[in-house]
Amino acid sequence: MALVPLLQQWGQELYKTISISLFFFSAPLLLLLFALHFFQGGRKLKLPPSPPRLPIIGHLHLLGTLPHKSFSILSQTYGRILLLQLGLAPTLVVTSAEIAKEIMKTQDVTFSNRVQTRAAKIISYGCSDLIFSPHNEYWRQMRKIFVLRLLSLNRVHSFDSLREEEVARFIEKIRGTCLDGTPINLRELVVLVSSDIISRCILGTRNEVEDDKKRFGVLARSAMVLMGEFCFQDFFPSLGWMDVLTGFVNRLKSTSEGFDAFLDEVIARHRKCEGNFDQPDKNCFIEILLELQKEDMTGMDFTQNSFKAILLDIFVAGTDTTSTTIEWAMAELMKSPTRMKKIQEEVRRVVGKKSKIKQDDIDQMDYLKCVVKETLRLHPPGPFLVPRESSESTKLGGYDIPPKTRIFINAWAIQRDPKYWDRPQEFLPERFSNNPIDFRGNDFEFIPFGAGRRGCPGISFAIAETEQVLANLLYWFDWKLPVGVELEDLEMSEVFGVALHKKIELQLVPVLQYPVSFQ
């Protein structure tokens, strides 16, 4: 996610520095050319096919503004497994479900390390979080905390009432705009409700949580933007000084210091309340982690930085991706009025005249679940998942893969491949009706959350939130496009980032289905 140039202006920045870097670093560049020659032919490895590349920058110029699409096009010419040289970083791009299975299942241990970017090292406490930590005993214990204590199915269900409460407030905000028929920016509102849900789960339910949520949200959004910026050091280690000149390092440190101070303050506040009558909800993530730390139940060196890294992972990974999926689902339904009518009929039939949508209701909404799956297929939040790195020499698809090769699995391309999907470019939720294919890591043609030991442990949490928000949007309101906008005018292009956003924010007019007094 954070390893790919995500800002369109990366090219201009890079070319401006080439002349300077040639002057100051001619010796390292000569060593690089020698190393590349050795890498290509000296050891007589059978490497995957590779397009022609330019000196110094390799294949960086081929990325374009939408790398997942650029890589997909390249794979049609060079094969479903190809080798790119992104600056000094050898990078394997995989566009095959079979090879993806080999990476994430058969040889999962070999490909279980993450590339530790500069942004990850600074923001994620030296990569002491779950996402970027190396595959070692510390990571295994960290994952146990996530899977067994924080994001288990029982824990997700324990937050049902909290989600319902936050979504009810979200619906009230929309209801207040229905009187004059003014369009709303659905993305902004969905990002806010996602942030509110995650913040409540992390911070608890005390009075000061509202101020904490706002502060946490600002810091988290800054972290997500920085994780997506181009970083010279990640591709040209000897040009890391350029990140200082561009101000990137200072922005990283500023955000990291802000997070650090905020999380220290919140954790200290919860520690102070231990044993008091008015202590926070014991269900929140901070309280759970405090209990684990107090009882020394983690089986690891559970430092304050480990504590904060966990909280950071949950917020950053759980906000942008979920809200993006909800926005895409609503956009696709608006483009298909027949399917919009079908899903609203199902939601309203199941809920009836209840004032709240419960999880038991959502469990009966089969077509809603098909819509969520199809949205994740067409618009996976992270088109490359989180890139991996090979820890040793191995073979893949008949090719030699050297150690320290970065691995990009193009989930976006795999999930639109006609080899695996009928009419793959169309939004067809019906394809998942009575279809056993699921997104939990066993079907490698459908991997929006990854798979294997490095798969996302927060699947149940993300799906519960997505379904709850969508069900409420579809139950309480009918939806219209703003005056003067036709269906064919609804823009569906993408912009590449930490999550694969809709390029133009979705503006819709809500029409209240039930009178205010019913709520």
Q: What is the pLDDT of residues 134-184, one digit of tens each?
A: 999 999 999 999 999 999 999 999 999 999 999 999 999 999 888 778 899
Q: Is 357 exposed, middle or buried (0-12, 13-18, 19+ CB in 10 A)?
A: buried
Q: What is the pLDDT of residues 446-484, one digit of tens each?
A: 999 999 999 999 999 999 999 999 999 999 999 999 988
- Segment 93-112 mean pLDDT: 96
Strands (DSSP E) contained in 336-489 are 388-389, 394-396, 399-401, 406-409, 477-480
- Segment 182-211 mean pLDDT: 82
Tokens of 7: 């800002």
- Segment 362-380 mean pLDDT: 97
pLDDT for res 240: 95
Q: Where does the pLDDT of residue 23 fall: very low under 50, low under 70, confident under 90, or very high at 90 and above?
A: very low
Strands (DSSP E) contained in 256-358 are none
pLDDT for res 118: 95
Find, among 297, 301, 226, the residue nearest to 259 by Cα. Answer: 226
- Segment 259-281 mean pLDDT: 74
User: What Cα–Cα distance (Å) separates residue 405 from each residue in 84, 85, 209?
Assistant: 10, 10, 43
Indicate if the pLDDT at residue 9 is higher than 50: no
Tell me the CATH architecture of domain 10-518: Orthogonal Bundle (1.10)
Length of the chain: 519
Is the alpha carbon torsion for 129, 131, 132, 137 positive or negative?
A: positive
- Segment 408-434 mean pLDDT: 96
SS3 at position 395: strand
Indicate if the pLDDT at residue 31 is higher than 50: no
Indicate if the pLDDT at residue 41 is higher than 70: no
pLDDT for res 441: 92
DSSP for 454-485, written as a single string: GS-TTHHHHHHHHHHHHHHHHHHEEEEPPTT-
User: What Cα–Cα distance (Å) separates residue 301 from each residue in 75, 106, 125, 142, 304?
Assistant: 43, 30, 14, 10, 10
Tell me the pLDDT of the chain averaged across its residues: 86
Find, among 284, 309, 319, 262, the residue nearest to 200 by Cα. Answer: 284
User: Which segment of 249-253, 302-306, 405-409 scores lowest on mean pLDDT?
Assistant: 302-306
Q: Where does the pLDDT of residue 299 fall: very low under 50, low under 70, confident under 90, or very high at 90 and above?
A: low
pLDDT for res 20: 40
User: Which segment of 42-51, 101-110, 113-122 scores lowest on mean pLDDT?
Assistant: 42-51
User: Which segment of 355-359, 368-372, 374-378 scores lowest on mean pLDDT?
Assistant: 355-359
Indicate if the pLDDT at residue 10 is higher than 60: no
Q: Where are the domains of the chain?
A: 10-518
Indicate if the pLDDT at residue 7 is higher than 50: no
Residue with the two structure tokens 């459908």: 446
Indicate if the pLDDT at residue 262 is higher than 60: yes
Indicate if the pLDDT at residue 282 is higher than 50: yes
Indicate if the pLDDT at residue 511 is higher than 90: yes
Tokens of 159: 């937050």
Indicate if the pLDDT at residue 517 is higher than 50: no
Strands (DSSP E) contained in 300-412 are 388-389, 394-396, 399-401, 406-409
Q: Which residues contact 407 (CB under 8 A, 6 or more apart)?
A: 91, 92, 94, 103, 111, 387, 388, 389, 390
pLDDT for res 279: 47
- On whether the CB atoms of residues 380 and 411 are closer than 8 A, the answer is yes
pLDDT for res 269: 85
Element (H, E) at 325: helix 304-335
Tokens of 404: 């320290």
Nearest 5°: CA angle at 447, between 79 and 487? 90
- On whether the CB atoms of residues 497 and 326 are closer than 8 A, the answer is no
Nearest 5°: CA angle at 322, between 98 and 131? 60
Q: How far is CA 507 from the centre of its chain?
A: 23
Q: What is the pLDDT of residues 203-248, one digit of tens each?
A: 876 445 566 767 777 787 788 788 878 899 999 999 999 999 999 9
Rounded distance between C-alpha atoms, residue 426 and residue 332, angstroms: 10
- On whether the CB atoms of residues 333 and 339 are closer than 8 A, the answer is yes
pLDDT for res 6: 38
Write phi, then psi, for 479 (nearest 5 degrees). Answer: -130, 135
pLDDT for res 385: 82
pLDDT for res 133: 94
Q: What is the DSSP letter of 104?
A: I
- Segment 254-280 mean pLDDT: 78
